Structure 1
Amino acid sequence: MIASAAGTGFGTDDLPFVLLVGSLVLLVAVAAVRLANRSGLPTLLIYLAIGVVLGEGGFGIDFSNDNLTQVLGYAALVLILIEGGLTTEWRSIRSSVAPALLLSTLGVLVSVGVVGALTHWLLDLGWSTSLLLGAIVSSTDAAAVFSVLRKVPLPYRLTGVLEAESGFNDAPVVLLVVALASEVVPGGEHHTILELAGTAVFELAGGALVGLLVGWVLGSLSQRIAPGSSGLFAIGVVAGAVFAYAAAATVHTSGFIATYLAALVLGNMNIPHRQAVRGFGQALGWLAQIGLFVLLGLLASPSRLADQLVPAIVVGFVLLLIARPASVLVSMTPFGFSWREQVFLSWAGLRGAVPVVLATVPLTLGASDTRWIFDLVFVLVIVFTLLQAPTLPFVAKRLGIDEQAHTVELEVENTPLTDLGADMLQVKVGPTSRLIGVRVYELRLPVGANVTLVVNGDEGYVPNERSVLRAGDQLLVVTKESVRGLAAQRIREVSAGGRLAGWRTDTGPDTEHAGTGHS
């Protein structure tokens, strides 16, 4: 029955078995999120493991369709980018867009060049193959970045760069991988550097224009066309972002940048049912991640992976210790990022599904003897995700760039809150935050924002104006939408400068990390 379900002779008799396996996979994947949250690992590792267990090395499901993997992979990436765009606050990345764009373009080229040159020398590969491998592994992964970094208490300047980079860099990397893969295909199309540069500029600019236009038009019309059902409206918003991808790709521009920007615009406009739209986008994003990573795990063959362990470690360390720092140095120095911030940005370049999906491109184009690239990239993603992701909080703390008052927006599915134009923030007071010892009234929150609950361990209470904040306190702040950003900014200022923040210009050495990020 497994062979029948995996092959072309699928029928109604196979449906119960497929639904049984599919539902079990989803249940295990959902339960695995708690384990991932506790360990600090991206869920992608667990989902890849599920796919490997179901595949030829485990339960014996035979899946080796590279073309189908690439098509479904692209579709999943579209949904993941939509989720990223819908849930990214523009004010949190506004100051980071320029450096993120440079890191996603010039930084990618630097990374590809360094990895290509060193793998050509260390692994004795041809120049075309070395550069292709460098392009495949150069893209950071939106799913990994969104799932890990939003839990690390970082200045919004850094999270803004990393989130925007992961949303932007898929588009140029896909163009580069396809062009370089053509170079290694017998009889493939060859391009000069000027041709590649011109094509890239046209496709990226055209895709950005399509995405911004689609997002603005749909957002402007949303008040007039929105149905009463929040679920139905959420479907329409996601469909609009998918339309941006399709429209951009149809006119031979970048669909990935179009869909991300369309979702970003829609997610930051005053559209109806905003929380429902975000929730639906997140659900689709999770479903896409689970399906994509399990599919990639199915495609991998454990018997081949061991042969690529050493080459994968060599390429991974070249990428992590030389190529990524070089791309960050070139891209971030003009914007005044300190060496500590640049070190963290270098370490936080997480890889995930995108490189593994792109590793199928040479295979689908007909390049011979390139199966090893998929195996190498698969191993690289696993090994270096295990190395980088769990250590991000430690690295941030050692570099002194972690925030001691971490503020996140709570998405509460409560119609009265929406009707009132209200939001909720959760603030965690770190052990060295200058919020410690501050009374609630000394926060001087803007009118329309108030601390409504304080929880510390198993204890919780409703504070009054003279309640004193302690290390480890978690504050629930209810605020009007119009002052949400000001409230979050004020809390970060007091965390950095103490109760006198705002009354004096000197707020201490941590001021540079306070930022003006999102709530």
Structure 2
Amino acid sequence: MLLTNVATLAPLLAASDEHVEMVAVEDLSTLVTVTAIVLVVAVAAVRLSARTGLPSLLLYLLLGVALGEAGLGVAYEDIETSLVLGYLALVLILAEGGLTTSWSDIKPSIAPAVLLATVGVVVSVAVVGAAGHFLLGLSWEVALLLAAIVSSTDAAAVFSVLRDVRPKARLAGILEAESGFNDAPVVLIVVALAERLTEGVDNTPLVLLPVLVLAELIGGVLVGLTVGFVGAWVMRQLGAAASGLFPIGVMAWIVLAYGVAQLVHSSGFIAVYLAALVLGNVAMPHRATTRSFAQGLGWLAQIGLFVMLGLLASPSELPGQIVPALVLGAVLLLVARPLSVAASTLWFRMPVRDQIFLSWSGLRGAVPIVLAIVPIVLGAQNLQWIFNLVFVLVVVFTLVQAPTMPMLARRLGVIDTEHARTLDIESTTLEELGADMLEITIGEGSRLHGVEIFELRLPVGADISLVVRDTGPFVPTPQTELRHGDQLLLVVPVGLRETAEARLHAVDRAGRLAGWGSDEG
């Protein structure tokens, strides 16, 4: 029978007496001090990340290595606990991703994203698995297991880079949705393949594996949507609760989705992401507070996860895996990922430049490194080297891909020069009025330049309340002329948000006469 990811906790539970050591009271001050210093350094790493173009999460990984055996000498080798904490961190990261993702932004991208997370994963596993077998001489079972481990893009890494690159809305939506969806099928495949290399475990026949994976995914989808909508209804009834407690209740529903899905032998990760997506997109009070709370938990989970994985690494064992990691990483980046994107977007007539950007943007991060622990925890023999290989692959190819993404996006012309995003402003007045506040940035190529505000012909009730320009912020008049580089604050009734955004995009493309001719935007 196919064991879902909760089954990997069994060895930990069985060996808990051997691995869990309670922290003595006299050690608490040292633990708290070191943890606080790590968090302060991690926060500082965000600024360094902005200057270098590297995801800050990679810097956290290297921070863990610096704290470990080759640096300050912190000893940490508890693989089983690491897997449990890794899964918990992934739950919080997916919860943050779902809560902060706008359904209207990713809705047009759902179909290609789902195909990338399913068909794309199968293509990637097949191609990288074949490379591992023929180029590295691995057995088919080990090669396919390794391919499955590295096939998942990482939500934390993708979200981190997209904040700076800002590609076109459809491309950003595909990448965000794919990274939220693909953890679930990949975890199921990795566990199933790892079981086949473990003695004493009932193996699922390979012909049944796709059916069982699909069944668990469907179960996770049903659980996630059900818990999400039920949780939204309950939390609306509790809307009068203090804003400080409200986000805790929302997160509790999301974590509940994971637990319920696992109890009924379905995918907990897909359940978490969908429950969070529902709760993040329905009308609820304290929405900004909830998102801020989720983002804080997500950052804390990411920092802890990457530092912990860095602590697990043994730098002395990494050089031996550099060549295999470069071989498989090159095949993954230059062959498997482009084929996955082409196969998944075949029906959508996606331009070649968009496919190239999607291919280069398939960042790997903590997820493959966490999944590399699974075979070890399950008891598969002689596979400890997989962790080191995956660790090297993630570090090297993050260094290659992440800093070059902004330049590639500019060369391909896929940057969104005019964008609008919801501002997370905690304002009871706005919530009671049923209004949203958007920030619009006018890019260098936008035809909004030179248009006076009254010429925008925004829907009744929508109003540009502030313009921020080089000379400073000011309240505009209907005759205020917009310029390149302006930042606008737009207050719009919730029901008219899409109409207002569509009108702005139309004028951005066609100028003040948009709508009078054939181009309605």
CA distance in 1 between partners of 2:118 and 2:323 (Å): 29
Query: 1:201-236 CA deviation, whole Å, 9 max, x = no partner?
Result: 110000110110011111122222334201211101
Would the aligned equivalents of 1:452 and 1:462 in 2 still touch at CA under 8 Å? yes
Q: Distance in 2 between matches of 1:390 and 1:438?
A: 36
What TM-score results when the alignment is normalised by the length of structure 1? 0.93
Task: Determine which of 277, 284, 290 is the counterpart of 1:271.
Answer: 284
Task: Name the counterpart of 2:60.
Answer: 47
Inter-CA distance 259–7: structure 2 relative to 1 (3 Å threshold): closer
Residues 346-425 of structure 1: pairs in structure 2 closer than 5 A: 346-425=359-438
Instruction: Report whether the alignment pairs 1:95 with 2:121.
Output: no
Give the aligned partner of residue 26 of structure 2: 13
Ranges of 4+ aligned residues in structure 1 off by more than 3 Å = 186-189, 456-460
Match of 1:314 in 2: 327
Distance 1:39 1:415 in 2: 39
Shift of 1:74: 0.3
Equivalent in 333, 349, 352 of residue 339 of structure 1? 352
Shift of 1:495: 1.6
The alpha-carbon deviation at position 7 of structure 1 amounts to 7.7
Matched, 1:482 2:495: yes
Structure-to-structure mapping, 1:251-330, within 5 angstroms: 251-330=264-343
**Superposed CA RMSD:** 1.7
Question: 1: CA distance between counterparts of 2:23 and 2:358?
Answer: 47
Q: Distance in 1 between matches of 2:407 and 2:366?
A: 24
Aligned CA distance change for structure 1 residues 444 and 152 (closer, same or farther; 3 Å) = farther
Per-residue deviation at 1:462?
Answer: 2.5
Q: Distance in 1 between matches of 2:345 and 2:373?
A: 31
Per the alignment, residue 434 of structure 1 pairs with 447
Which deviations, in whole Å up to 9, do the C-alpha atoms of 1:165-221 show, x marking residues without a partner?
111110100000011112222444333232101211110000110110011111122
- State the SS of the aligned residue for 1:230: coil
Match of 1:205 in 2: 218
Unaligned runs of 5+ in 1: 1-5, 512-519
The residue identity in structure 2 corresponding to 1:254 is S
Q: 1:404 touches 1:495 (CA, 8 Å); kept in 2? A: no
* Map of 2:4 onto structure 1: none
Distance 1:302 1:458, change over 3 A: farther
TM-score by length of 2: 0.93
Counterpart secondary structure, 2:134: helix
More displaced stretch, 46-55 vs 463-472? 463-472
Q: How far has the Cα of 1:44 moved from its partner?
A: 0.8
Instruction: State the AA in 1 paired with 2:255.
Output: V
CA distance in 1, matches of 2:52, 2:354: 24
Asked whether the 8 Å contact 2:166–2:172 carries over to 1, the reply is no
Name the structure 2 match of 1:514. Answer: none
* Matched residue, 2:15: none
Identity of aligned residues (%): 57
Residue number among 156, 178, 182 corresponding to 2:191 in the alignment: 178
**How many residues matched?**
503
Shift of 1:37: 2.8
Q: Equivalent residue for 2:44?
A: 31
Aligned counterpart, 2:147: 134
Secondary structure of the residue that 1:499 maps to in structure 2? helix
Corresponding residue of 2:258: 245
Cα 1:478/1:35, change in 2 over 3 Å: farther
- How many Å separate the matches in 2 of 1:20 and 1:419? 43
Q: Are 1:51 and 1:293, in contact at CA under 8 Å, matched by a contact in 2?
A: yes
Give the one of 168, 179, 192 matched to 1:155. 168
**What SS is found at the alignment partner of 1:477?**
strand
